[in-house]
């Protein structure tokens, strides 16, 4: 039986072709039809989820050849299809009003439909050939959306950077596909996972290229600049890009989890690159004053953290991260226009209690003690957790410790102290609960975390210490924020340590006035 969600891209592409005949302002009922097609795609995605529950995962090959063209419907692709269809429907519903009266309104809806169709093909890919083709197609269509206002020099510059970085990722993935075909005689994703127990040298090179492609697709350090400059496109494009398309690199790693996990070097590279990108993006985000720019740097940080999860072998949690981040970021971008008004309407709470070094130390100790207690309780109920999962929870709890520090400041009221302590407990409970949920949904389709070796233990300790030090520095920020050195550091961070300007120069010095 053909997976029902496969009909969704066909429907969307047919309507996108119709939109090409009405590219101008007020294209009749096309916007409403686009929203209806997205809703129908969501219905097909729900039907696909039911198919998975009834029949389990299935691969649907197309044409001759050993896994060259194939589609896959299982717990992973069903979840991603549901996510993409839901976010796509919301974005198209928003765009119907947002783009009303634009000069090229019909063309915009057609391009958005085509992009959504290509993403749906990507998440249902059953072979590397289909996966690579999906990435290439998305890049071609998304470039046109980024150039929707071609008269804007900043939009042309952002589109040029996107094309360069995304295209480099495409080249890396195509090369990896060819090498894996040469090594195993197939590009079927399930067959590759089954053959990954032993990786010959040519396959190890392919895995390195897969990791490179994922890093380029997720805008990781140091080639992250294009993602922070795509705000010249209409808001629905920003929402779809940051809430969906940017997750493509993470999905690639999850789909190739068995092969990637067979390479300790690839896993170590993901931990180091992802961890540093997460810290870097979070630090820069805190210095941004524009709402959309801060959200873009937040995406950089979140993508880095997702790569860190993949490097630790926590594949179900990485997939859960994709789902949660997509829903949050779509809402954040689509509601960004009301952010200034909402902040202005908030009643000012008065002076904030600044915690001292002792309060910060007590806060982190309290948060870790609560976390350890919850971890022991969950272990007694659900069995032991991997060292990687426990370490990731400790990293997450550092963020809560920052809030607890506010409640333990000497000037803090007792009610605030009580609320922040409860927040720490709630975060620990939520982490282990969602971990159980992710495991129940996707662990059967994804490999278990590997037993940590010496390198893995070293990286785990390094990640915990790095995130812990940054969290402590953030908690103590009120004490050193007015130091002259911190003012200069803030300026450098606000400019992303000028790496984006360096990239401009290295790739030919794109100037805002240059045509493509």
pLDDT of residue 469: 86
pLDDT of residue 343: 59
- Which stretch of 2-16, 140-154, 497-511 has the lowest confidence by average pLDDT? 497-511
pLDDT of residue 1: 64
Residue 177 has pLDDT above 70, yes or no: yes
Residue 145 has pLDDT above 80, yes or no: yes
Confidence category of residue 203, pLDDT binned at 50, 70, 90:
very high
Confidence category of residue 304, pLDDT binned at 50, 70, 90:
very high
pLDDT of residue 387: 86
- Which stretch of 74-83, 119-128, 204-213, 506-515 has the lowest confidence by average pLDDT? 506-515
pLDDT of residue 42: 94
The gap between the terminal CA atoms of the chain, to the nearest Å, is 46
Where would I find the beta strands (DSSP E) of 47-181? 58-61, 70-73
3-state DSSP call for residue 30?
helix
Nearest one of 413, 405, 423, 395 to 478, comparing CA atoms: 405
Rounded mean pLDDT, 237-247: 85
Model pTM score: 0.89
Rounded mean pLDDT, 332-357: 64
Q: Which residue has the higher pLDDT, 410 or 131?
A: 131
Burial 225-258, CB ≥16 within 10 A → b, else e: bbbbbbbbbbbbbbbbbbbbbbbbbbbbbbbbbb
CA distance 307 to 246: 12
CB 149 within 8 A of CB 233: yes
Residue 510 has pLDDT above 50, yes or no: no
CA distance 459 to 388: 10
CA distance 207 to 203: 6
Rounded mean pLDDT, 46-51: 93
Residue 7 has pLDDT above 80, yes or no: yes
CA distance 401 to 271: 23
3-state DSSP call for residue 213?
helix
Rounded mean pLDDT, 74-99: 92
**Top mean-pLDDT range of 49-58, 340-349, 471-480:** 49-58
**Top mean-pLDDT range of 89-103, 332-346, 491-505:** 89-103
pLDDT of residue 251: 94
Long-range contacts of 4-7 (CB under 8 A, 24+ apart): 4/44, 4/47, 4/48, 4/51, 5/41, 5/44, 5/45, 5/47, 5/48, 5/73, 5/77, 5/78, 5/81, 5/85, 5/120, 5/124, 6/60, 6/71, 6/73, 6/124, 7/44
pLDDT of residue 516: 44
């Amino acid at each position: 039986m053909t997976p029902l969600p496969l009909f969704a891209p066909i429907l969307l592409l047919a309507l996108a072709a119709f939109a090409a005949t009405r590219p101008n302002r007020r294209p009749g009922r096309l916007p409403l039809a686009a929203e209806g097609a997205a809703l129908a795609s969501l219905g097909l995605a729900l039907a696909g989820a039911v198919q998975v529950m009834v029949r389990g995962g299935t691969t649907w090959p197309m044409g001759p050849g050993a896994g060259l063209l194939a589609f896959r419907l299982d717990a992973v692709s069903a979840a991603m299809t549901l996510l993409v269809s839901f976010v796509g429907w919301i974005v198209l519903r928003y765009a119907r009003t947002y783009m009303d009266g634009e000069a090229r309104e019909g063309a915009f809806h057609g391009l958005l439909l085509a992009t959504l169709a290509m993403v749906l093909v990507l998440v249902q890919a059953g072979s590397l050939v289909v996966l690579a083709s999906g990435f290439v197609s998305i890049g071609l269509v998304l470039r046109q959306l980024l150039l929707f206002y071609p008269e804007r020099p900043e939009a042309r510059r952002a589109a040029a950077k996107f094309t360069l970085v995304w295209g480099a990722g495409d080249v890396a993935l195509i090369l990896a596909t060819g090498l894996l075909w040469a090594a195993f005689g197939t590009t079927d994703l399930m067959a590759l996972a089954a053959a990954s127990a032993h990786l010959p040298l040519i396959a190890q090179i392919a895995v390195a290229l897969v990791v490179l492609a994922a890093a380029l697709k997720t805008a990781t350090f140091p080639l992250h600049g294009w993602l922070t400059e795509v705000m010249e496109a209409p808001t629905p494009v920003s929402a779809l890009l940051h809430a969906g398309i940017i997750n493509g690199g993470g999905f690639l790693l999850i789909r190739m989890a068995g092969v990637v996990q067979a390479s300790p070097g690839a896993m170590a590279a993901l931990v180091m690159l992802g961890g540093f990108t997460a810290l870097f993006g979070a630090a820069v985000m805190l210095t941004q004053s524009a709402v959309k720019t801060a959200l873009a740097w937040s995406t950089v940080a979140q993508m880095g953290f997702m790569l860190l999860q993949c490097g630790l072998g926590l594949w179900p949690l990485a997939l859960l991260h994709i789902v949660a981040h997509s829903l949050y970021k779509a809402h954040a971008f689509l509601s960004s226009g009301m952010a200034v008004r909402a902040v202005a309407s908030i009643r000012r709470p008065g002076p904030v209690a600044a915690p001292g070094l002792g309060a910060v130390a007590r806060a982190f100790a309290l948060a870790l003690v609560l976390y350890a207690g919850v971890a022991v309780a969950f272990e007694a109920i659900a069995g032991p957790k991997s060292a990687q999962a426990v370490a990731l929870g400790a990293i997450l709890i550092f963020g809560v410790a920052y809030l607890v520090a506010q409640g333990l400041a000497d000037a803090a009221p007792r009610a605030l102290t009580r609320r922040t302590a409860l927040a720490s407990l709630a975060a620990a409970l939520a982490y282990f609960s969602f971990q159980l949920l992710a495991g129940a949904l996707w662990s059967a389709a994804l490999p278990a975390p590997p037993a940590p070796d010496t390198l893995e233990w070293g990286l785990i300790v390094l990640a915990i210490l790095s995130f812990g030090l940054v969290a402590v520095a953030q908690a103590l920020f009120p004490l050193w924020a007015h130091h002259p050195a911190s003012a200069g550091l803030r300026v450098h961070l606000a400019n992303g340590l000028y790496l984006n300007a360096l990239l401009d120069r290295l790739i030919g010095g794109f100037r805002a006035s240059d045509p493509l």
